[in-house]
Structure 1
């Protein structure tokens, strides 16, 4: 399946009209719909779409507020606002919306939006392919060594350096954890603590020491990795089927 979309609109007619028009494009599949931002958020967390068609003026949480909330996700869906009000366009694009559809919907405008989404998706796939072929460069005393990201078990920050722990040894990097997290985004890495990033493929156990303290057991590592309470739910969603 290519583009997976959720449509969120509190007006049933508008929601069904948009779903019908999107049905004319085989490159995109509407996997769920919602009549409120709150219900939509539940659907997003459940189905993990890569595209969101979002109304703005809704009862309760509005579309702008939901879009801001979604920016906290590790991989938020691409947002297209679909609304009867042109006045929100500036706010929408500040939230990095890909497009801004005005009601009543126009078939030609929908087609242009779908093409824009396809182009964006293709660029993302190319970038991920390029990134997945690369290795991390780490400076040793007299040479540069290249580390395959798949060999990294976890990374931690101490003082001014970051340390990449692999089965063959530990390497030092001057990059910040945030920079390493960005470079490793195509791989199975997850930030579990302000000072730790782990390779989720190396996880064996999540141990609860108390209501607020968790630790991870990783393959071939004696040390247990601390997990901040704020990351536990997202980590479990990431790890579990």
Structure 2
């Protein structure tokens, strides 16, 4: 994992550590290099392993997460911190320690994806603009044995189901480890629009929008029989994007 972000997961509850490590596995940019079940061990392993980021619980016996964060400021290499806790009360104090993010348990995959995106921006600043002029034109999707390069113009919609993101073309579907948020970021510059927290649609394929119930709509795509639900929160902006 060359150039991967090295992460240390700290939580006094084993199952919480295991859950977070499981949710982080799909992110190839994150390498779990260790775990700690107490504040003291977190500081010791930070010195030994020199992680780039620590996913840090707040409520721990003896030395809590805030005290750990303060101690880490004394290190030669200060890791980024993403607090991961069941308690919302410490959020203000967390950001005084310049935390990248503050995740609440039970974990939300979209929020975790946002946190990883912020972490990447903090640790790996974007290249100068002259590098980005040759924008890639294909979306790379890794299969079990190969990599598919998809033309965004051929993608009809993308959706998230059972912790898997699925990419739908006219004739074939693909699965990816990326979150829907990550796919949305990669497709920026192409005519994709979020119609629901779990759906992203290529506007070039939109054929019909019909009222459904309770302010929601159904969307029909050219070449597809199935109808997609449009959340009422997205209807107004969707119509602005579609209509002259």
Measure the CA separation in 2 of the matches of 1:85 and 1:104: 11
Q: Deviations over 1:7-35 (max 9, x none)?
A: 00001111100011011100111100011
Which residue is equivalent to 2:52?
A: 50
Corresponding residue pairs, total: 126
Q: Deviations over 1:66-85 (max 9, x none)?
A: 10011111221000100000
Q: Deviations over 1:114-160 (max 9, x none)?
A: 1111111222887xxxxxxxxxxxxxxxxxxxxxxxxxxxxxxxxxx
**Equivalent residue in structure 1 for 2:40, among 34, 38, 41:** 38
Measure the CA separation in 1 of the matches of 2:50 and 2:104: 25
**Equivalent residue in structure 1 for 2:74, among 52, 60, 72:** 72
Q: Summarize the Cα distance change of 1:64–1:117 in structure 2 as closer, same or farther, 3 Å threshold.
A: same
Q: Secondary structure at the match of 1:38?
A: helix
Measure the CA separation in 2 of the matches of 1:74 and 1:44: 11
Q: Secondary structure at the match of 2:47?
A: helix
Which residue is equivalent to 1:59?
A: 61
**Structure 2 spans left out of the alignment, 5+ residues:** 129-244
Measure the CA separation in 1 of the matches of 2:123 and 2:24: 17
Aligned Cα RMSD in Å? 1.4
Q: How does 1:171-190 map to 2 (within 5 A)?
A: none
Measure the CA separation in 1 of the matches of 2:127 and 2:102: 24
Q: Summarize the Cα distance change of 1:5–1:125 in structure 2 as closer, same or farther, 3 Å threshold.
A: farther
Which residue is equivalent to 1:4?
A: 6
Answer yes or no: is the 8 Å Cα contact 2:58–2:64 preserved in 1.
yes
Q: After TM superposition, what 4+ stretches of structure 1 lie above 6 angstroms from structure 2?
A: none
**Structure 1 spans left out of the alignment, 5+ residues:** 127-241
Measure the CA separation in 1 of the matches of 2:126 and 2:89: 30
Q: How does 1:81-92 map to 2 (within 5 A)?
A: 81-92=83-94
Measure the CA separation in 2 of the matches of 1:48 and 1:114: 19
